[in-house]
């Protein structure tokens, strides 16, 4: 029996809150902070329109967390490393994309979609209402 993805969680390699966001923005501007997932989903200040459209096209909800505010389960599934993409299927949480994989995507949304699909299939997970053969 296959498992169906209920939702996706994104874990950014940044601290949460206003201070964390400000520290990341300053570090990014100075070239000393980088999060491959942030670069994929956000521009300098806000979420990229292309990311919003991509997220809306997914058949499951997507929640975002900062590494300091991510739930313990997500941190454990991500091996304590961020950024990461985790799929939830019932009570299971499955790491789909780790920091190295996200870095390799290089901010390319099409490559992210392909990597996400490849990882989902490798984990034997289905999207809701669709079964993978």
Q: What mean pLDDT, rounded, does the chain reach?
A: 82
Q: What confidence score (pLDDT) does residue 77 get?
A: 65
Please indicate, yes or no, if residue 65 is contained in any of the structural domains: yes
Please indicate, yes or no, if residue 48 is contained in any of the structural domains: yes
First-to-last C-alpha distance (Å) of the chain: 12
Please indicate, yes or no, if residue 133 is contained in any of the structural domains: no
Q: What confidence score (pLDDT) does residue 87 get?
A: 93
* Domains identified in the chain, total number: 1
| Domain of residue 114, residue span | 3-126
Please indicate, yes or no, if residue 18 is contained in any of the structural domains: yes
Q: What confidence score (pLDDT) does residue 131 get?
A: 59
The mean pLDDT value for 17-35 works out to 60
Count of beta carbons in the 10 Å neighbourhood of residue 26 = 11
Please indicate, yes or no, if residue 131 is contained in any of the structural domains: no
Q: What confidence score (pLDDT) does residue 115 get?
A: 97
Q: For residue range 59-110, what is the model confidence (pLDDT) as tens digits? A: 999 998 887 776 656 665 666 678 899 999 998 889 999 999 999 998 899 9
Please indicate, yes or no, if residue 101 is contained in any of the structural domains: yes
Please indicate, yes or no, if residue 19 is contained in any of the structural domains: yes
Please indicate, yes or no, if residue 120 is contained in any of the structural domains: yes
């Amino acid at each position: 029996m296959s498992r169906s993805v209920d939702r996706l969680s994104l874990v950014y390699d940044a601290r949460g809150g206003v201070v964390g966001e400000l520290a990341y923005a300053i570090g990014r501007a100075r070239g000393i902070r980088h999060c491959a997932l942030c670069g994929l989903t956000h521009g300098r200040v806000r979420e990229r329109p292309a990311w919003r459209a991509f997220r809306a096209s997914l058949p499951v909800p997507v929640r975002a967390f900062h590494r300091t505010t991510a739930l313990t389960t997500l941190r454990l599934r991500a091996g304590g490393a961020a950024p990461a993409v985790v799929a939830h299927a019932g009570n299971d949480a499955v790491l789909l994309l780790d920091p190295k994989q996200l870095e390799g995507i290089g901010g390319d949304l099409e490559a992210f979609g392909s990597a996400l699909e490849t990882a989902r299939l490798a984990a034997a997970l289905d999207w809701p209402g669709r079964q993978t053969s």
